[in-house]
Amino acid sequence: MMSELMVESNQLTKYFNSLLAVDKINLEIPKGKIYALLGPNGAGKTTTIRMLLGLLKPSSGSVMVNGKSVSDDPKSIRGEIGILPQFSAAYYDLTPMQNIHFILELNNISYDDVSASLAEYFRTLDISYELLNKPFSKLSGGEQRSISFIMAAITNKEFLILDEPTSGLDIARAKYIRSIIKYLVEQQGKTILLSSHIVSDLEELADYCGILKKGKLIFQGRKEEIIELYAPDTQDFEDAIVNAFGVKTTNSQTFMGGNK
């Protein structure tokens, strides 16, 4: 499918006791691109991400991340991937600044080396100095998400996994986060695995898509291909995703028979 791959899995499978969470998926994420991992709730996205991070051991199959076999040696990948988890990534009792310092120290990054970038992040996402010194718990949901995003981005990893990066953000901050993501890929050559349910994010950002359904990877390819395959009539990306998920987009599926 693609030339140089950041992630390559082979028949990757995960069982939780008898529950099949991920079913023999062959994921291929090219370097320097944004790959959107999509799927309805419970499709296996988080489990897949955790296997890429080396946090979960596959039941069978293998996965390589940046040339390293994560399934054979999960330790090899630790600290190599920047992560924005679905839920907050920060300590609520520490201030945003203390949280950022912790992530920098954990990744052996000097604050002085990234202070200019941080200032730019704060300016772009409208994070004031006052806000940075409040307890994280006192911040609004959008502010918390923005700080968590900065904590992932500032680690300067080649590969970033962003789970719902714009969830809970206001329109302006969501727009700026998208622009930062594009900048990280286009200007810094980073690879991003994006998991999101927000169609505008996916439409604007995704180069490639993978669709998981009940643990199976039912589609993997360029964004244009998913439209051709699942919504040839409407040429609408949202329709294509909904169709791929297996929900019919007839009027009977809309609320009270109204417009979709």
Partner 1 sequence: MSKEEKRPKQLKALLKKDLKLLLRKRVAIFVFGGPFILMFLLIGLPSLFSSQQTMVLLIYSDDSDYNGINIGASVLDNITYYFSFDPSIEVVQNVTSFSEVKATDNFGVYLPSNFSLLTFTGSPIYFTVDATQSLFSESIFNTIHAITQNVIATVLANRTLPVIQTIEEPPTSLPEEQLLGPKAAAVAMPLSYMIFLLIALNSGSYSNIGFAREKRMRTMEILLSYTKKHSHLVISKTITSLVASLGSTLSYILGIIAATSLTGAGTEGIFEIFGLNMQLLNAGDIIIIFIFAVTALLISTLITMAIDCNITREASERLSPLLSIGLAMFFYFVALSNPLSASTTLVINPFYWCYRLALLLISGKFSIEIIIYLSLIIGLGGLLIFFATRGIQKEKSLYLE
For partner 1, give the closer residue by CB, 4 or 93. Answer: 93
Q: What amino acid occupies position 53? A: L
What type of residue is 232?
A: P
Nearest CA to 153 out of 81, 46, 98 is that of 81
Among 25, 29, 64, 90, binds partner 1 (CB under 8 A): 90
Name the helix (H) or strand (E) containing 108.
none
Options 1, 16, 42, 260; binder of partner 1; rule CB under 8 A? 16
CB of 160 vs partner 1, minimal distance in Å: 11
Stretch that binds partner 1, among 4-12, 61-69, 100-108, 113-121 (CB under 8 A): 100-108
Stretch that binds partner 1, among 61-69, 104-112, 121-129, 222-230 (CB under 8 A): 104-112
Beta strands in 93-179 (DSSP E): 159-163
Candidate residues 40, 85, 168, 221; the one interacting with partner 1 per rule CB under 8 A = 85
Contact flags string 180-219 toward partner 1, x per CB under 8 A: ----------------------------------------
Q: What is the 3-state secondary structure (H, E, C) of 155-182?
A: CCCCEEEEECCCCCCCHHHHHHHHHHHH
The reply on whether position 168 binds partner 1 by CB under 8 A is: no
CA distances in angstroms from 202 to 64, 79, 221, listed in the order given: 25, 27, 14
Burial of 150 (0-12, 13-18, 19+ CB in 10 A): buried
On whether the CB atoms of residues 184 and 162 are closer than 8 A, the answer is no
Q: How far apart are CA 132 and CA 119, in angstroms?
A: 11
**Nearer to partner 1 (CB atom), residue 156 or residue 234:** 156
Contact letters (x/-) for partner 1, 52-81, by CB under 8 A? -xxxxx----------------xx--xx-x
From residue 112, how far is each of 3, 7, 101, 105, 119 by CA, in Å? 36, 32, 11, 12, 11
| CB nearer to partner 1: pick between 61 and 242 | 61
CB of 21 to partner 1, least distance (A): 10
Of 2, 24, 40, 91, the residue at the interface with partner 1 (CB under 8 A) is 91
Return residues touching partner 1 (CB under 8 A). Answer: 16, 50, 53-57, 74-75, 78-79, 81, 83, 85, 87-94, 98, 102-103, 105-108, 155
